[in-house]
Amino acid sequence: MKKIQVLPEFLANQIAAGEVVERPSSVIKELVENALDAGATQVDIAVEEFGTKRLTIKDNGQGISKDQLPLALERHATSKIQQTDDLFNIHSFGFRGEALPSIASVSRFSITSKAAGEDDAWVYKGEGGKNFTLEPAAHNHGTTIVVEDLFFNTPARLKFLKAKRTEMEHIQDVVVRLALANPKVMFKLVSDGDEVVRFAQAQGELLDDMLPRLASFMGRDFVDNAIGVELDRGDMAIKGFVSLPTYNVSTTRKQFMYINGRPVKDKLLMGALKNAYHDLLHTGRHPAAVLFIDMDPRAVDVNVHPAKAEVRFKDGRSIFGMIRTCVRQALDEHSTEVSTTPSNEALRRFVTTPQMPAQPRFDYHAASAPMPQTSFENGANAQPRTVAEEATPMRYEMPHIPQEEPAVAQSMQQFEGHPMGAAVAQIHGTYIVAQTEGSMIVVDQHAAHERLVYERFKKQILNGSVERQALLLPEIVELKPSEVDALLERESELLAFGLEVEQFGPQAVSVRATPALLGEVNAKQLVLDMVEDIRNLKKETTLQESVEEFLSTMACHGSIRANRKLSVADMNAILRDMETTPNSAQCNHGRPTYIELKKADIERLFGRR
């Protein structure tokens, strides 16, 4: 049996590096955070061969004095905390004293610094965490750290790195994440001599000051479709941006959360965001968001993992509720707005191919035929004939232009100034075309009406006033015994929604009433769809989620179908309801209910601008 022994310091540092230093981007994260803790207002990052050959971080922070440089490379040496209580009141990024010795143990490392108020600069360098030397150097106030040949003494770690492009994406992601939370700091990232990222110092800390950096990180589409979120409760403040429901993505990769400026990945925060969109997005779709949460450091524990990306909250329920309420209020305030993405995509698909008139073909044989003989009678006295004598009189008749229908003219006069405009036409029996003073709007009548019915259902259920309409003859629906049992387990819930069913033998149910809001409805198909919903509900599905699923199915049955002819009055009624109904910009599955094409964009399509 092998004896227990204390590991050499350099080996202990390499083990710690396995948790702190996963890839070049991890090194940059730790070193840039140190620069920010030092009060830097400018941070320059340069990498060669995606950081494996050489990685340089330069800042203009307060610097490190000569006698402190060797201590900075000692394990568990830090200026951030002094006693146990400080662990529960952390105001800095770093505090564990592990980053620098861990990085130095797997690279050829040097740190050059000149402290504020001192005349001389010093460089402290070593290799693989050993053989450090301290020498004078030339350097401005601040600190420069150079990491060369990363993982040179742990070659197995190099094998786990991804392609250059992937590693650079991780590096850029880290830099921009930190830049977002520190708008008053200038950031520059250079890769193999090419400038990749540059952010100037912002003049303020308002939401609008984040937009330039946000566009670089999240893309211009997000900025164009983002809603500002801001709430201050005294002990906690939230600010940031979330996307309109119609701007959604297939993963949570575009959700970024910050606690006191620290980027974190926390299931509680992401769960609160998801809950705020609970009936606005289809299953499998996610919003994009950047949220900054400032709170008492004593209410959050960041000492959970060496990478400090995970946190624990003292009162998670309060934070969950505040985020959910704050985001939902912002969404409700913009509930009739639709993202620009569908409109931009529609404009992109407008392609016009110029149709040139057919040119007559040249007939060589006709051209080479002898010219007809021309007889000149009384040649001397012949008079030239004028064009007027030869030409056939031409008459231009104006095409017949039908007069505008009175209903459309009245619609334009009455509603053109409204947000959703005036209905002017219905195309393909599915889409309503409306005109506003500065745009054209195209509405998917089924999707829009489905949301309208859904919201009315929700309102009636909240008021406990869902009306039922009794069927003259009960509808008998045959089912499997297991489906009958599953349906009857939810009998009281279905009754609350206006659907009255009772057992009719072991393999059938009798439908006695349906929700009055649905009007005439296929009761059998409604029951079959409800059974399908119940079958698909997971055990962990909350009551709220199951209610929303049932309401969505019922709303679909009660909405206007495609290919149904609508009058101008009917179309205007839908448009007016959309203006006053929450969340009318998207259907129950998160798809847009309308797109808006600005008049200026339409004019560009025709070359008028």
Does residue 20 belong to any structural domain of this protein? yes
Q: How far is CA 380 from CA 373, 375, 376, 384, 390, in A?
A: 18, 12, 9, 11, 21
Same domain, 255 and 341: no
- How many Å separate Cα 60 from the centre of its chain? 34
Q: How confident is the model at residue 540 (pLDDT cuts 50, 70, 90)?
A: very low
In a domain, 578, yes or no: yes
Q: Tell me, letter by letter, the H, E, C secondary structure of 487-539.
A: HHHCHHHHHHCCCEEEECCCCEEEEEEEEHHHCCCCHHHHHHHHHHHHHHCCC
Instruction: Report how far apart, in Å, the C-alpha atoms of 310 and of each of 130, 262, 286, 304, 544 are.
Output: 31, 10, 21, 6, 29
CA distance linking residue 249 with residue 504, whole number of Å: 45
Together in a domain, 215 and 267: yes
Domain limit, last residue, from 192, 225, 247: 192
Q: Based on the number of CB atoms within 10 Å of its own CB, is 319 exposed (0-12), middle (13-18) or buried (19 or more)?
A: buried
- What is the chain's mean pLDDT, rounded? 83
Q: Is the pLDDT of residue 377 over 50?
A: no
Please give the tally of structural domains in the chain. Answer: 3
| 246 plus 318 within the same structural domain | yes
Check whether 204 has a pLDDT greater than 80: no
Whether residue 152 is found in the same domain as residue 271: no
Among residues 166, 192, 218, the one where a domain terminates is 192
Task: Quote the pLDDT of residue 545.
Answer: 60
pLDDT reported for residue 390: 52
- The boundaries of the domain holding residue 136 are 9-192
Query: Please, which pLDDT band fits residue 155 given cuts at 50, 70 and 90?
Result: confident
**341 and 321 together in one domain:** no
190-207 mean pLDDT: 84
pLDDT for the residue 306: 57
- Asked if residue 400 belongs to a domain, the reply is no
CATH of the domain at 214: 3.30.230.10
pLDDT of residue 17: 56
Q: Which pLDDT score is estimated for 338?
A: 80
pLDDT band at 374 (very low <50, low <70, confident <90, very high): very low
Worst-scoring range by mean pLDDT, 9-18, 157-166, 475-484, 572-581? 9-18
User: Residue 163: CA atoms inside 13 Å, Cβ hemisphere, count?
Assistant: 2
Cα–Cα distance measured from residue 445 to residue 425, given in angstroms and rounded to the nearest whole number? 12
Domain for residue 393, yes or no?
A: no
Query: Which of the two residues, 7 and 313, has the higher pLDDT score?
Result: 313
What is the C-alpha separation between 361 and 3, in angstroms, rounded?
Answer: 100
Residue 112 vs residues 62, 72, 489, 550: alpha-carbon distances, Å: 13, 12, 72, 65
Q: What is the pLDDT of residues 37-58, one digit of tens each?
A: 999 999 999 999 999 999 999 9
Helix (H) or strand (E) holding 51: none
Residue 144 vs residues 28, 139, 336, 555: alpha-carbon distances, Å = 12, 8, 51, 62
If asked whether residues 543 and 450 sit together in one domain, one would say yes
Give the span between the Cα atoms of 566 and 348, in whole angstroms: 29
Structure tokens that stand for 59 in this block: 């800042």
Band the pLDDT of 421: cuts 50, 70, 90: very high
* Least confident stretch, 243-257, 387-401, 456-470: 387-401
pLDDT of residue 148: 97
- Provide the greatest CA pair distance for the chain: 137
| Angle between helices 568-580 and 406-415 in degrees, nearest 10 | 20
Instruction: Kindly state whether residues 281 and 304 are assigned to the same domain.
Output: yes
* Domain contains 382: no
| Residue 366 located in a structural domain | no
Task: Name 114's bridge partners.
Answer: 142
- Do 216 and 188 lie in one domain? The reply is no
- Contact (CB, 8 A) for 306 and 98: yes
Query: Does residue 216 form part of some domain?
Result: yes
User: What CATH number is given to the structural domain containing 504?
Assistant: 3.30.1370.100
Tell me the pLDDT tens digit for each residue of 249-301. Answer: 888 888 999 998 888 888 889 999 998 998 888 778 899 999 999 998 888 88
Mean pLDDT in residue range 220-248: 90
Q: What percent of the chain has pLDDT over 70?
A: 81
pLDDT, tens only, 317-342: 889 999 999 999 999 888 888 877 77
Last residue of a domain, one of 285, 301, 333: 333
More confident residue, 496 or 14: 496
Q: How many CB atoms lie within 10 A of CB 22?
A: 16
Q: Do 219 and 179 fall within a single domain?
A: no
pLDDT tens string 95-146: 666 889 889 999 999 999 999 889 999 999 999 988 999 999 999 999 999 9
- The CA distance from 211 to 29, in Å, is 22
**Are 439 and 586 in a shared domain?**
yes
Amino acid at 353: T
> In 3D, which of 474, 472, 469, 470 has the Cα closest to residue 504?
474
Whether residues 449 and 522 share a domain: the answer is yes
Q: Which candidate, 339, 347, 345, 588, places its Cα nearest to that of 451?
A: 588
Residue 582 sits in the same domain as residue 563? yes
> Which tokens belong to 224?
């164009």
* Any domain includes 141: yes
Share of the chain above pLDDT 90, in %: 39
CATH of the domain at 36: 3.30.565.10
Q: Is 127 helix (H, G, I), strand (E, B) or coil?
A: strand
The answer for residues whose C-beta is within 8 angstroms of residue 41's C-beta and 6 or more apart is: 60, 184, 185, 186, 201
